[in-house]
A and B are shown apart, each in its own frame.
Chain A
Amino acid sequence: MLMRHGRSLEAAEAAVPETRTFTGNRGLEIEEGLIFEIGRPENTGVDLDEPAPFEHRLGSLERQEPSGLPGLSEPETMRHYVRLSRMNYAIDAGIYPLGSCTMKHNPRLNEAMARLSGFADIHPLQPQASVQGALELIAELARWLMVLTGMDAVAMSPRAGAHGEACGMMAIKAAIAAKGEERTRKIVLVPESAHGTNPASAAGAGFEVRPVPARADGTLDPAAVQERLGPDVAAIMLTNPNTCGLFEKDIVEIAALIHEAGAYFYCDGANFNAIMGKTRPGDLGVDAMHINLHKTFSTPHGGGGPGAGPVVLSPRLAAYAPVPFLCREEGGLRLVEQQSEAPGAFGRIAAFHGQMGMFVRAYAYMLSHGADGLRQAAEDAVLNANYVRAGLRDLMSEPFGDRPCMHEVLFDGAWLKPTGLTALDFAKAMIDEGFHPMTIYFPLVAHGAMLIEPTESESKASLDLFIAALRHLAFAARRGETERFAGAPYQAPRERLDETRAARNPILKWTKPGHLKAAHEGRPRAATPFTIT
């Protein structure tokens, strides 16, 4: 085989026996050190005058040695963080199919709106008369959340999904206490497929968690719920569609059973993006549900921004909503901040009234999509998941039978078993092919779970590429090409991490190395530290 200019390719390959480079860099991907390794205390990005002589009152507390904090010039600082950011993966770089996480595109329109001065440059403690526009946006967002869910009230302050769960469970606790049943109703039923936060939120609110097994089709059996209901049950926490990507078709019957038993129905709204505009949780009998604005309503998350988890409440729980909440009065909107004004409120769960920047983005997403657009977003999310399912179901195995899914498709590890490979091996090999892996080993009800959620953001072309890559890998696994998987990823900035060692002996603190060589130890890329000769 010849290269274009006539020299043998074999000879060229022989001259560079390894893919490792002299510098440790790969192409223009720079192998970047920690800031402590590259910064020098004598460097600075700003030129400040030496302070004039002054007296201090630190006494013996005065530092005797320089702190040794790393200093960098402005271009060094920029390069450091840009280089690190290039080792990261983001929804802006490609498909991010993490099941249960809803990594959908964050529209740029949302960002432009969030940067408007009237939203971006305000402070939660400034006079309410001066932020009526921002309060109006919160009120409008709250109204549409209630319309979309068919619920009576909404607590806007919860900061994320699990915080919303805590809020909902505390409202339920307050309602039970108001009926004088706080000593008897101590049990919360949680299906085995639940998000881990559900039992944690229930336990955190002081309840005792009882698991409910799923039936063979992956959904919850009303009979299994009824069996466990009694005067000691406070609530059930159910996700719909559930974490297996399946719609709980008996949800109305389950809700009726729960209400009959005098208990409350908490719905984990993490998967509301699959049913938004199609059905209303209020009509299904839900009493409380959090809405992940950072999932369903496209606000950035997963390192890109804070979450926001408003909780909608049914008439049975509305009176117990926490402060603060908005009240429309003659002079405009006013935040009700004191519990003395809201005697039923169970209290306050956050310092201020919520994630303003996320409210603006979520509202922009709502308005730009409109009622038909939101419905289509849900439909497209379900369609895309089923397209992926149809493209892979002949090669991979489905734990609950061959039938349509909702917004995410769940495969299990049964098909991998004869190959000797694990879901982890398969996921790591996806990284080499340029795809962020799906969620693996969740939900726990499926052995070797692989949960794929493409979201509505992906085009058919994008899904076709994704499916093709997974099919290539699945065939390679079946052919027994184990070396392709065993140490994967081979192409990433870091190769396979030793998760066991990382968990058993975590290194939680950087310690100053004795010399340059030590600083490079444990960095698998460069064979020897690159030195300038």
Chain B
Amino acid sequence: MPATHYTKSHEYIRVEGETGVVGITDFAQAQLGDVVFVELPPVGQSLSKGTEAATVESVKAAAEVNAPVSGTVIDVNSALGDKPGLVNEDPSGTGWFLKIKLTDAAELDSLMDENAYREFLKTVS
């Protein structure tokens, strides 16, 4: 059963075993508005927790997507190249950004679970 963890900067990581799928939350896509461009890192790049992993550009703004935890990029969602709108339509599903192989699963402990993130959203809107 994959567990999803959330950051305060509105990224999620859905972890299954040693790998995790990273994307932005529904709240983040709604704040950004229509996404028009996504820049993804090359497969094989190593990311450290909290540093820039991808860039997402909407009609309103450009934003960084940070790595929720450290790891190596093992796959990216190339469908976003043609259809950046997937981020708006299905942020937790087909609108995912990248898959990483986790370096240190203990880093997940510093993230929020779904309930904690829902509580956190009440404080930011």
A interface with B by C-beta (< 8 Å): 441, 444, 499-500, 503-504
Task: Looking at the assembled complex, report how far the CB atom of A520 sits from the nearest CB atom of chain B, in whole angstroms.
Answer: 27
Are the CB atoms of B36 and A444 closer together than 8 Å? no
A500 surroundings in chain B (CB, below 8 A): 34, 36, 59, 85
B60 surroundings in chain A (CB, below 8 A): 441
| Contact A499 B61, CB 8 Å, known A504-B36, A504-B84, A504-B85 | no
B117, CB-defined interface residue at 8 Å: no
B61 surroundings in chain A (CB, below 8 A): 441, 444
Which secondary structure dominates where chain B touches chain A? loop
A444 surroundings in chain B (CB, below 8 A): 61
B34 surroundings in chain A (CB, below 8 A): 499-500, 503
Please measure, in the bound complex, the distance between the C-alpha atom of A21 and the C-alpha atom of B52, giving whole angstroms: 53
Please measure, in the bound complex, the distance between the C-alpha atom of A499 and the C-alpha atom of B57, giving whole angstroms: 13
A504 surroundings in chain B (CB, below 8 A): 36, 84-85
A499 surroundings in chain B (CB, below 8 A): 34, 59
B 23-60 to A, binary, CB cutoff 8 A, 1 in contact else 0: 00000000000101100000000000000000000011
Which secondary structure dominates where chain A touches chain B? helix
Task: Looking at the assembled complex, report how far the CB atom of A10 sits from the nearest CB atom of chain B, in whole angstroms.
Answer: 42
16 pairs across A/B with beta carbons < 8 Å?
A441-B60, A441-B61, A444-B61, A499-B34, A499-B59, A500-B34, A500-B36, A500-B59, A500-B85, A503-B34, A503-B36, A503-B37, A503-B59, A504-B36, A504-B84, A504-B85
Sorted nearest first, the 6 A-B pairs with minimum C-beta distance are A503-B36, A500-B34, A499-B59, A441-B60, A504-B36, A500-B59
A503 surroundings in chain B (CB, below 8 A): 34, 36-37, 59
Task: Looking at the assembled complex, report how far the CB atom of A501 sits from the nearest CB atom of chain B, in whole angstroms.
Answer: 9
Task: Looking at the assembled complex, report how far the CB atom of A412 sits from the nearest CB atom of chain B, in whole angstroms.
Answer: 13
- Candidate in B59, B61, B84, B85 with the most chain A CB atoms within 10 angstroms: B59
B84 surroundings in chain A (CB, below 8 A): 504
A441 surroundings in chain B (CB, below 8 A): 60-61
- Nearest CB to that of A196 among chain B residues? B62
Task: Looking at the assembled complex, report how far the CB atom of B106 sits from the nearest CB atom of chain A, in whole angstroms.
Answer: 26
Please measure, in the bound complex, the distance between the C-alpha atom of A13 and the C-alpha atom of B112, giving whole angstroms: 62
Task: Looking at the assembled complex, report how far the CB atom of A238 sits from the nearest CB atom of chain B, in whole angstroms.
Answer: 21
B37 surroundings in chain A (CB, below 8 A): 503
Please measure, in the bound complex, the distance between the C-alpha atom of A504 and the C-alpha atom of B82, giving whole angstroms: 8
Task: Looking at the assembled complex, report how far the CB atom of B27 sits from the nearest CB atom of chain A, in whole angstroms.
Answer: 13
* Besides the known contacts A441-B60, A499-B34, A500-B85, 10 further A-B residue pairs in the complex with CB atoms under 8 A apart: A441-B61, A444-B61, A499-B59, A500-B36, A500-B59, A503-B36, A503-B37, A503-B59, A504-B36, A504-B84
Task: Looking at the assembled complex, report how far the CB atom of A95 sits from the nearest CB atom of chain B, in whole angstroms.
Answer: 24
B59 surroundings in chain A (CB, below 8 A): 499-500, 503
Task: Looking at the assembled complex, report how far the CB atom of A449 sits from the nearest CB atom of chain B, in whole angstroms.
Answer: 10
Task: Looking at the assembled complex, report how far the CB atom of B58 sits from the nearest CB atom of chain A, in whole angstroms.
Answer: 9
- Nearest CB to that of B57 among chain A residues? A503
B 75-103 to A, binary, CB cutoff 8 A, 1 in contact else 0: 00000000011000000000000000000
Task: Looking at the assembled complex, report how far the CB atom of A502 sits from the nearest CB atom of chain B, in whole angstroms.
Answer: 9
